[in-house]
Amino acid sequence: MTRFGAMYGPDVTFLGAPPCDLESPSSWSDAEVVILGAPYDGGTSYRPGARFGPGAIRQACYLEHDGSRPSLALGVDGLLDLRVRDAGDVMMFSGDAEKSHAALEQAVHAVAAAGKIPFVLGGDHSIALPDVTGVARAVGWGRVSVLHFDAHADTGDSSYGSLIGHGQPMRRLIESGAARGDRFLQIGLRGYWPGPETLRWMADQGMRSYEMTEVVERGLDVCLTEASRIALDECDGVYLSVDIDVVDPGMAPGTGTPEPGGLTSRALLDAVRRLSYELPIVGVEVVEVAPGYDHADVTAMLGSRVVLEALSGIARQRAERRGRLEPWDRSTPLLSRYGRER
């Protein structure tokens, strides 16, 4: 768990946030959020390359990497107001899934057990298994609901004979009891996988999966409202899992298993901001950014902005709870906070 920097590329922190070392608690004792890199893509079933995602997400911004990002929409600075620290990458060797996942679970649990919110930069989606497990060990076994944005259900039983992969983590989480099936909400599913047998298993667990046809027909906001209500029932916190391939590959090409017909980048950012502002978030992951397939860094930039929207939403919620700000009014003109708007 010692901070050694990045497994691949230069040792940079997320947009210049201060570094910390998990083995030195005093270096992150004042933080509310700790960022961890999970550079692992040994669970991919098609195109690898997500091991380079953490570095790409950390660096993807045209602004100065000064550890500050005030949100125009929310009027808070997620990086500063939450005192974000970046612990660097967890050492994860893609040739050893069990050892790599164990190291990540240990790191995530250490952060969550200290009362901080872990933000994990993936990595392929197999890391959801150690991520949610680590949080559940700290918050409460079966007491963490999961809001899962993805083109794919990731509820397969095995892949090429392996129970560990990016197509299986949600099944493993439900089987273990770390997360309840009836508090597992999936948004953005589409395409031609999984098949009927797996879908029947999902239905038997009480999962709620919003396929894109339903999202389009009913509206994303309506689906989010319903999903949020279910997520808050009999659970103490919400884990937000964002697979970047939930977005249409025309807007996010840099991913290993692209599926046409997804959300727009705007819709995803609005959704993440809203959920992070409204719900008790206890963990966040952004996965499946594979920069080798990206164009002009648009997918890495989107991943970076997903992280920022989540940070800003949490920061605004906490600022209001502490009486520093009035409830957020989405219709308020931008400059009214600073003087008369013409």
At 56, the amino acid letter reads A
Q: What is the DSSP letter of 256?
A: S
> Residues of the chain with pLDDT > 70: what percent?
98
Residue 163 has a pLDDT of 74
Mean of all residue pLDDT scores within the chain:
96
**How much of the chain is helix, strand and coil, in % rounded to 5?**
40, 15, 45
For 167-193, the pLDDT digits (tens) are 999 999 999 999 999 999 999 999 999
Q: Tally Cβ neighbours within 10 Å of residue 190.
A: 20
Is the predicted pLDDT of residue 2 greater than 60, yes or no? Answer: no
Residue 108's Cβ-side half-sphere holds a number of Cα atoms within 13 Å equal to 30
Confidence band, pLDDT 50/70/90 cuts, at residue 160: confident
Phi, then psi, of 242 in degrees rounded to 5: -120, 110
Residue 340 has a pLDDT of 64
Confidence band, pLDDT 50/70/90 cuts, at residue 123: very high
Q: Buried b / exposed e across 14-48, counting CB within 10 Å, b at 16+? A: bbbbebbbbeeeebbeebbbbbbbbbbbbbbbeeb
304 CB contacts (<8 Å, ≥6 apart)?
Answer: 14, 15, 57, 58, 60, 61
Report, as an integer, the average pLDDT of 103-124: 98
Report, as an integer, the average pLDDT of 232-243: 97
Report the distance separating Cα 178 and Cα 183, nearest Å.
11
Residue 279 has a pLDDT of 98
Report the distance separating Cα 302 and Cα 101, nearest Å.
25
Report the distance separating Cα 89 and Cα 180, nearest Å.
29
For 188-216, the pLDDT digits (tens) are 999 999 999 999 999 999 999 999 999 99
215 CB contacts (<8 Å, ≥6 apart)?
Answer: 187, 188, 223, 263
